[in-house]
Structure 1
Amino acid sequence: MNSIPWWYTEIGDNEKNYMLTAFNNKCFSMGPYTQEFEERISELMNVPYVTLTNSGTSALIISLLSIGIKPGDEVILPALTWIATAQAAALLGAHVVLVDCLPRLPIIDIEGVARKITKKTKAIIPVNLNGRACDIKRLKNIAKENNIYIIEDVCKGMFSQNNNCYLGTIGDIGCFSMGMISLLSIGYGGFLVTKNIDLHNKIRLIRDHGVVRNPEEYKYLGANYKVSDLLASIGLGQLDKLQEKIKRVCDIYKIYNEALSENSKCNLLPVDILSGEVPLYVEAYSEQREDLINYLNVNNIGTSRFHLPLHSARYLDSPDNFPCANELSKNAFILPSGPSQSLDNVYKCAELINHWK
């Protein structure tokens, strides 16, 4: 029996043809394909400034450098997300301040954010995990009252919308990933979006060591966060299939949601598709998670457990307890998903879960 992977996306002939054209045109460094990709994202997301970079983590680091994060500044972020969000701030010497997520929902508790703000708070990073929007209107009001930047981490929320605006375009800067567990995948990659021309100009320089060229000036602290046109060309090929990808991941969520609606031992974590949220993958919750994962594994079906809560990273030195993050980390997991996942695989997985005793 062939195994069903927990995640499946394809980079196929269309992307290969784009990349071979870039190769034949000797576009090995950053150039016209990168520019074309940035322009297409700008048009699709209705945001004026886009900067392609080599990973979502790099996008987060660049964003924090662009707003002047320095040692001793505080950066608020959710206690349950991928560690890269916290590492980006910690690597710059900032103090990471964690806030619990909502009960059985892996997005930041906005009221918890308000309680954690101090005079040292420089930025808030809401993570739009799996395409979910937090209460961004309330968050923007809090940030405005306290003169704090909002950096949206949309690495797992690309092309999700809130009130007809794409997530990532609502705060000061949005950071996206194009790694393999992404709606658009190029291997490793990412990009930033902003509506602020001053931030955009800094971001562009920081991507290239913070250097002004011709005449040369070392203006900002930066590094080589550039990306090859070969990878950018793969991104262009992926964009050709964007609507197909969005439809597939939404269809997968709908299938699981309907099939498991009466299952008392395995429930989905909700994603609001009707409001424009795009479920990159499908998360389930079960207090018997390990037994269910083992059962699915015996039947050659892959799953992926939720990440550890960030306060388990000792180097972040977070003294608080986060019960909602702990609960989700212990009991939540990801079912077979992805923009190229077979719907037959999804139906099979759901059927097996419903037969699990």
Structure 2
Amino acid sequence: MEVKQEPIPLFEIDWDQSDISNAIESITRGSYWAKGPFVSEFESRLEKVLDVKNALVVNSGTTALVAALKALGIGRGDEVIVPSFTFIATANAVRLVEAEPVFADIEPNTYGLDPNHVRTQITDDTAAILPVHCYGTSCQIDELCEIADEHDLSLVEDAAEALGAEFRGQKLGTFGDVAALSFCQNKIVATGEGGAVITDDDDLARRVRLYRSHGRTSENYFDSSTSGQYIDVGTNIRMGDLPAAIGCSQMDRLDDLITGRQQAASRLTESFREIQGLQPHTPMEEATHVYQLYTIELESRINRSNVIDTLAEHEIASKIYWDPAIHETSYYRKSKTKIPTLPVTEDISRRVLSLPMHPNLSPYEIARIVDAVTEAVH
């Protein structure tokens, strides 16, 4: 009788007793579940790791992007250049501040914005460039920063997938005016949901603080006998103390979380080296990869659906990030957004497939993944 194999999920959250201990400390304190001490500690740890002046935690990576755009004063009448090959939140954040996303094509190596195509999309209404560091490694951020400087544009980094990754020894998320991180459950550091705005600009940080707390000048609302002073329109996108408590314990082992992913990715990539028909996504020279996702690019002759089905038959999860690309989704097809020709985006989106990845992926699981993929592409 055939023995059923244990499923290999797309990701597993790395947790240990320190996560539980921090969570218990936050809960049993019996107070300060909203603006508690773990929130400030989490922000301080992010600032230290990234070597930035301001890390402001919020309740998701999406709201981090919205807050960053709001702080820059981007809104109605403005255009923001974004990739279409990314999670839809990147473009939606632009729409949520009533600006217009303008899609530019990606280049085929990093899957990030193509600087040459970005130049062609700049108009008098362009206010910012919003590149994405795809899958855990750098886009061509140096060239995009140069373009932003040349045209006096803001640059907002979507570094949701790239906490800890570097380009030329500098942490991603610290190149532009402001950046957004995500701590969703499948990210490098996981708090369930959560995000952060990163910036060295104290004035931008002040505006983010106002926006995330209803435009209130003080964040010590529960410690004050007054109702507070409100000087701007804002909303409530604060991170609570409990997810921040988990974030603190996760940050304690950030290096191990990244190293575990890199070691698993290295084994996968080495095993795939002799297999015809696919190419793993790898970093460009002078960049590191933290492998928030481990993605392969299949040759056009390979039927991706068959690969997915074969993996599923072997109890191995896989997922397409991203097809359809944003400009091909139902909402953006029917919206008034002008869609340029994006041949690289459309080609890549039809050929990528993400495989299981997490810091504790075992050699046995890696062998099963490689064997199943090999079976599927041959």
Give the TM-score normalised by structure 2.
Answer: 0.90
**In 1: Cα distance, 2:183 partner to 2:351 partner:** 27
* Distance in 2 (alpha carbons) for counterparts of 1:353 and 1:324: 24
**Where do residues 1-357 of structure 1 align in structure 2 (5 Å cutoff)?**
1-26=5-30, 27-103=32-108, 105-213=110-218, 216-272=228-284, 275-286=287-298, 287=300, 288-307=303-322, 308-312=324-328, 313-314=332-333, 315=335, 317-356=337-376, 357=378
**What's the CA shift for 1:184?**
0.3
Taking a change above 3 Å as real, the CA distance of residues 59 and 267 of structure 1, as seen in their structure-2 partners, is same
User: For the residues of structure 2 that align with 1:316 and 1:251, how far apart are their CA atoms?
Assistant: 45
Q: Provide closer, same or farther for how the CA distance between residues 147 and 310 of structure 1 changes in structure 2, counting only shifts above 3 A.
A: same
Indicate conservation of the 8 Å contact 2:110/2:284, yes or no.
Answer: no
> In the TM superposition, what is the alpha-carbon distance from 1:316 to its structure 2 partner?
6.0
* 1:161–1:276 contact (8 Å) kept in structure 2: yes
Instruction: Give the aligned length.
Output: 357
Rounded to whole Å, the distance in 2 between the matches of 1:145 and 1:215 is 45
Cα deviation code 1:219-259 (max 9, x no counterpart): 33321011110110010111122111111110121111110
CA distance in 2, matches of 1:273, 1:352: 30
The DSSP-based 3-state class of the residue aligned with 2:111 is strand
Write the letter of the residue equivalent to 2:157.
E
Distance in 1 of aligned mates of 2:286 and 2:359: 19
Write the distance in 1 (CA, Å) between the matches of 2:124 and 2:228: 37
| TM-score of the superposed pair, with normalisation by structure 1 | 0.96
Q: Percent identity?
A: 27
Residue pair 2:83, 2:132 contacting (<8 A) in 1 also: yes
Alignment partners' CA distance in 1, 2:338 and 2:146 = 26
- Structure 1 CA distance, aligned partners of 2:88 and 2:67? 16
Change in 2 beyond 3 A, CA 1:34/1:316: farther
Distance 1:154 1:219 in 2: 30
Decide whether aligned partners of structure 1 residues 291 and 151 sit closer, same or farther in structure 2, where only a CA change above 3 A counts: same
Distance between the aligned counterparts of 2:239 and 2:6, measured in 1?
Answer: 36
TM-aligned CA distance change 1:53 to 1:316, over 3 Å: farther
Instruction: Measure how far apart 1:80 and its partner are.
Output: 0.4
Q: Deviations over 1:34-88 (max 9, x none)?
A: 0011111111111111101100001000000000011110000112000001000
Q: Distance in 2 between matches of 1:145 and 1:69?
A: 19
Q: Secondary structure at the residue paired with 1:275?
A: coil
Note the aligned Cα RMSD (angstroms). Answer: 1.7
Alignment CA distance shift 1:343-1:210 (3 Å): farther
